[in-house]
Structures are given as structure tokens and as C-alpha cells.
Amino acid sequence: MKDGNLLHRFNKNLLFYLLLAAVLVAIGFTLFGHREIKTAAPAEKQGTAKDNVDVGKSDQAQVAPVRAIGADDHLWGPADAPVKMIIYDDFECPFCAKFYQTTEQAKKEFGDKVVVALRHYPLTSIHVYSMQAAIASECAAEQGKFWEMYNKLFADNLAGNLNETQFKADAKMLGLDTVKFDQCLFQEKYKDKITGEMLEAKSFNVNGTPTSFINGEIVPGAYPFEDFTGPDGVKTEGIKSIINRHLK
């Protein structure tokens, strides 16, 4: 009888420790994935400060220089512009939508002095349609309408209407061959290209969206156009000042 009680207590203790281990694993997983989750914080949080992308002090230096603009990049502006702005973006990211508006301001202000190259970094673990949106932009690029689809996708983001049905409606509004577009989207034709850009970006210290490089200088977060003061009280250059500095 005593042995039976000991066995019973042993089984109860074993169950307790197994449950405790499972809880610890779950907590560890949550902490490990926190870096991506912080990049897509709720829209009501400040979307223009440096902490939009969780970059710790030890991460500030680039691991490797960003790959220069090449033939595979989608360019908005002349390739020989004196300021080259490479943006790693996620069409579903709320901070990317804010930075999209900042990029529009930059192009309006500086014109052909700035060329913008967009590369993909969809945070698929937290954004359901981010990969599909990236593929939709590439499918539109097949028909010469990348930047037109880029505008549509961020408009969809801002309207809270980013989904497959809307991608197809956008393609129709842009006058694309919808049969070709739908097939490209269904087959996930450009998923490997997009995944490759993401993997490569990690070697440039990209770990959230938006992350930009202005003439190679890393800009991690949805910086506003004008100079700003961050939550730490530090005055920081906005995109306008950074571009002007590189023009000089």
C-alpha cells in the first residue's frame, strides 16, 4: 500500500514538472519571437520613433554592407541618382504604411536626386497576407505595373482592406491581364525570390520593417520626414535631413 502511495505521489510530481516545463517553453517561445512582434506594434503607438523596430545596442552596427542596387531591383527614379534609398518593406506592416507616406514626401521634395528601391521582408509570422501581397506586387511587375500595385497595396493597408480578393480587384483596376495575374498569384510564382531577399537581408542587420538604407546608412524604423525627438528625449534626424546630408 505504501509503495502504491509513493508511486501515486511520483506520478503527480512528474505531471507537475512536465506541465511546468511546457509553460517555460511557451514563455521562451514568446520571448524569442518578440523581436518581430514589436515591429508590428498596434497602430495607436507612436509610429515615427526609432523603437518601431526592436534594434538593441549590440545590433546597431551593420553585419555587412547592404547589397548595392542592381538589375533585379524595382526602381522609382533614375539609377544614377546621387542618393540611393533601399527599403525593406512589408505591405501589411502598419509602420511601413506610415513610412510609405514619408517616402512619398521624399520623392516629392527631392525628385530625381533620389532613387528608391523596394525589397521584400514580409513578417509572415504576424501578418497573414504579407507574403501574398509581396507576390501580388511581383505579379504586377511582370506586366510593368510594380509601382502602381505598390501604391494600391499600401492604400489597401491604410484602408484596412488587404486580402486576396482586393489584390485581384487591384489588378483589374490597373488594367492587368487578370487571368495571367491570378495564375501567378495562385502559383506563388515569386515566393522563392521574396524569401531569398529576406534571408539575404538578415546579413545586413535587417530584423524588422521598415528598414531603410540611405547611401548605405541604415535607418531602422518608420522615421518621419522632418527631424524628431524620440521617446528617449534624443533629437534625431528625419529622412529629409539624412538625404540632405548625403547630398552634401
Q: Based on the domain organization, do 8 and 63 belong to the same domain?
A: no
Q: What is the pLDDT of residues 142-154, one digit of tens each?
A: 999 999 999 999 9
Q: Mean pLDDT throughout 218-244?
A: 96
Q: Are residues 24 and 45 in the same domain?
A: no
Residue with cell 546621387: 82
Q: Are residues 207 and 174 in the same domain?
A: yes
pLDDT digits (tens, 9 = 90+) for 177-212: 999 999 999 999 999 999 999 999 999 999 999 999
CB 208 within 8 Å of CB 47: no
Residues 77 and 117 in one domain: yes
| Structure confidence at residue 151 (pLDDT) | 98
Q: How far apart are CA 207 and CA 198, in angstroms?
A: 9
Cis amide linkage into residue 122, ω under 30° from 0: no
Within this chain, do residues 123 and 28 fall inside the same structural domain, yes or no? no
> What gap in Å lies between CA 7 and CA 2, rounded to an integer?
9
DSSP 109-141: HHGGGEEEEEEE---TTT-TTHHHHHHHHHHHH
The pTM (predicted TM-score) of the whole model is 0.76
Same domain, 9 and 123: no
E strand residue ranges, 56-209 = 74-76, 83-89, 114-120
On whether both 11 and 128 belong to a single domain, the answer is no
Nearest to 52 by CA among 39, 66, 64, 65: 39
Q: Do 9 and 124 share a domain, yes or no?
A: no
114-150 burial, b at 16+ Cβ within 10 Å, e below that, comes to bbbbbbbbbbbebbebbbbbbbbbbbbbebebbbbbb
95-119 tens-digit pLDDT: 999 999 999 999 999 999 999 999 9
Q: Are residues 110 and 201 in the same domain?
A: yes
Q: Are residues 212 and 137 in the same domain?
A: yes
| pLDDT band with cut points at 50, 70 and 90 for residue 53 | very low
Q: Is the pLDDT of residue 121 over 60?
A: yes
Helix (H) or strand (E) segment spanning residue 108: helix 94-110
Residues 214 and 169 in one domain: yes
Whether 49 and 24 map to the same domain: the answer is no
Using pLDDT thresholds of 50, 70 and 90, give the confidence band for residue 9: low
Provide the domain count of the chain: 2
Which CATH number does the domain housing residue 174 bear?
3.40.30.10
Domain that holds residue 74: 39-247
What pLDDT does 63 receive? 77
